[in-house]
Amino acid sequence: MTKNFFAFAFIAILLSACCGTKNAGENKNSTTAVSVPYTTAKNYFVRNDYKEAPLHFLKITSLTDFENVFGRAPLEMNGGNPTDIDFSKNYVIAIIDETNDKSGELSVKSLSQKNETITVSYQIADGHKMSFSKRYLAILIVDKKYQGAIQLEKN
């Protein structure tokens, strides 16, 4: 009978140790940033009737809202059709800067999620002065399973 008691006690301790380790690992992961996969949409432009504003972001969840901000810019070269976006499965994070006359670009370095916050790390490389104006722009297509408050982080 004491053998059964010790065997039962050993199994109970072993099971509680396994469960405790699992919970500790889950808590540790919740404070670690996780990389969020995304696709960069190509061949779109900011519509001329969109508001002029300093660098900002938009979270867009429908085609109608997307078309209120962006126009399609198909090109004959380099696989020229605009990237298709399925809003039933994805949403868009758009980073838009004010109009300028520089040849540089806005590039996204990473997209990560920590707890309930999605962080977009970006960089702006200003180029030389041009004879026309444009806006720095990045359009990220993100799976709807990644949700949270969005923040921008300049590198």
Secondary structure in 3-state letters for 110-135: EEEEECCEEEEEEEEECCCEEEEEEE
Low-confidence winner among 18-27, 78-87, 145-154 (lowest mean pLDDT): 18-27
Alpha carbons 46 and 70: distance in angstroms, whole number: 5
pLDDT surpasses 70 at 136? yes
Give the model's confidence band at 120: pLDDT under 50 very low, under 70 low, under 90 confident, else very high. Answer: very high
Domain layout of the chain by residue ranges: 1-32, 34-154
50, with CB counted inside 10 A (0-12, 13-18, 19+), is middle
Find out whether 118 and 112 touch, Cβ atoms under 8 Å.
yes
Percent of residues, the chain, with pLDDT higher than 70: 79
pLDDT surpasses 70 at 7? no
Spatial CA neighbour of 45 closest among 15, 20, 12, 75: 75
pLDDT tens for 40-79 read 999 999 999 999 999 999 999 999 999 999 999 988 766 6
pLDDT surpasses 60 at 18? no
> What's residue 77's pLDDT?
66
